Amino acid sequence: DPAQRRLRELAALSKRLQQVHPNVLAKVLKERTVYQNEEIVVINKPYGLPVHGGPGIKNCIADVLPILAKMLEKSMKTEPLHLCHRLDKETTGVMVLARSKEVADRIRLLFKTRQVEKTYWAISLGNPDPTEGTVEIPIVEKEVRSHQSHYKMTLAPNYRLSPEDGRMVKVRKQRNAEMAVTRYRLLAHSAACSLLELQPITGVKHQIRVHLAYGLGCPILGDHKYSHWSKLAPQKLPEITLKRLKLVQSKARYLPLHLHAHRLSLPLGQRIDLVCKPPFFFQKTLKKLELDFTKD
């Protein structure tokens, strides 16, 4: 089936990006440069490419920054580009690189002090209720003990419901839990799915994914990690969603994570608005699910 073949090809392409020669990867990133000035270079990060290296990772963005800098400047003496923030391997979109360590430090401080406005788009399963609001629940990493033990980020609420009278009772804060705040707004909904606009106020690991899946009960389409708590298994999709995507449930594991860093507003002297189009697979899914938010 063409739809299933395209998904397999996307998985294969992201795998290939991690195995190509560093010069080839740097060239790919150069072609994905959406903005540059004397201080920064902005790329539209591709799907499936890790930012940092690690076990089993051959290629990552950090490794090719010296080559990318030379390609952009056409000079052998160019200083390597510097990472200013991170995006998950499966997340696409706006990524800022600095031309010097001083600029990188300045931008990291802007992120740390929450002066950078970040806007993400996500396609989720289900509709959030209410359709607009803020999720403010701390997050902590925990071990999931199952037939295949693994670690996941999860909610660590400061309150619980009293079984006696149903009132909210404050509980002691969990050690290692980090404060996490995410604003969300529904842009469109169709075929048991939603297009959401998200603004993470804090920057906790997997924050958007956890807040949507466990806080709102609307996991991101293709988020096989946070669609279940106790197991690692492909996401279960509603019949109408499978029908629109022309997928069978057994092939749902090929669905990529539909989370895109759409816009970043950076106060560097004057405020710079950086916008990246969603990848082709994301746009295709919007069309198939008829998530047309331009009409709203």
The CATH number that applies at residue 280 is 3.30.2350.10
Quick one: tokens of 295? 């009409």
pLDDT of residue 2: 76
CA gap 79, 66 in Å, rounded: 7
Residues 60 and 166 both lie in one domain: no
pLDDT of residue 295: 44
pLDDT of residue 294: 64
CA-nearest of 139, 144, 159 to 209 is 139
Residues 236 and 168 both lie in one domain: yes
Q: Could you tell me if residue 21 is inside a domain? A: yes
pLDDT of residue 91: 97
Residues 135 and 101 both lie in one domain: no
For the chain, the domain total comes to 2
Q: Could you tell me if residue 153 is inside a domain? A: yes
Residues 68 and 147 both lie in one domain: no
Residues 100 and 148 both lie in one domain: no
Domain, as residue range, for 208? 114-291
Residues 247 and 237 both lie in one domain: yes
Q: Could you tell me if residue 183 is inside a domain? A: yes
Domain C-terminal end among 88, 113, 138 = 113
Residues 15 and 84 both lie in one domain: yes
pLDDT of residue 173: 79
Low-confidence ranges of the chain (pLDDT < 50): 295-296
pLDDT of residue 75: 66
From residue 154, alpha-carbon distances to 36, 106, 179 in Å are: 37, 31, 12
**What amino acid positions are annotated as catalytic residues?**
88
Q: Could you tell me if residue 97 is inside a domain? A: yes
Q: Which residues of 167-201 are buried (b: 16+ CB within 10 A; e: fewer)?
A: eeeeeeeeeebbebbbebebebbbbbbbbbbbbbe
Residues 170 and 283 both lie in one domain: yes
| 280-286 contact pairs (CB < 8 A, 24+) | 281/6, 281/7, 281/10, 281/47, 281/256, 282/92, 282/121, 282/123, 282/258, 284/6, 285/123, 285/221, 285/245, 285/258, 286/123, 286/195
Residues 109 and 204 both lie in one domain: no
pLDDT of residue 24: 93
Residues 98 and 118 both lie in one domain: no
Quick one: tokens of 45? 């990060």
pLDDT of residue 178: 94
Domain C-terminal end among 83, 113, 143 = 113
The backbone torsions φ and ψ at residue 54, rounded to the nearest 5 degrees and listed phi first, read: 175, -175
Residues 54 and 163 both lie in one domain: no
Residues 189 and 105 both lie in one domain: no
Q: Could you tell me if residue 3 is inside a domain? A: yes
Q: Could you tell me if residue 296 is inside a domain? A: no
Domain C-terminal end among 78, 97, 113 = 113
The CATH number that applies at residue 97 is 3.30.70.580
pLDDT of residue 296: 38
